[in-house]
Amino acid sequence: MQLQCNPAKLPAMRSVGLSTRCAQCQEWVIAPLLTEFVEGSEIRHHWVCDGCGETTRTVVQLSKD
Ligand SMILES: [Zn+2]
């Protein structure tokens, strides 16, 4: 088995691990509550703020080869 790396996808892959700020109270939300992988198109992170309970979603678009 050989590991493969696609440098063109690295920016999208790096953003997967980033935290986000709550749009309501500006508190940092460290980890998503749920992450969905939509094969071939995007990654969706669902966030819940510990400070105020606000829910939000961020989407990382995956580039196509
Ligand atoms: Zn909040």
> Which has more confidence, 3 or 34?
34
Report all structural domains of the chain as residue ranges with CATH numbers, in order of start. 19-61 (2.20.25)
Distance CA 13, CA 6 (A): 10
Residues flanking ion ligand 1, Cβ below 5 Å: 22, 24-25, 27, 49, 51-52, 54
Encode pLDDT of 31-65 as tens digits: 999 999 998 899 999 999 999 999 999 999 988 66
Phi-psi region of 57 (alpha: psi -120 to 50; beta: other; left: phi over 0): beta
CA of 35 to the centre of ligand 1 (A): 19
Q: Which helix (H) or strand (E) holds 14?
A: helix 10-15
40: left (phi over 0), alpha (psi -120 to 50) or beta: left
Question: Is residue 22's pLDDT more than 60?
Answer: yes
Q: Is 54 helix (H, G, I), strand (E, B) or coil?
A: coil
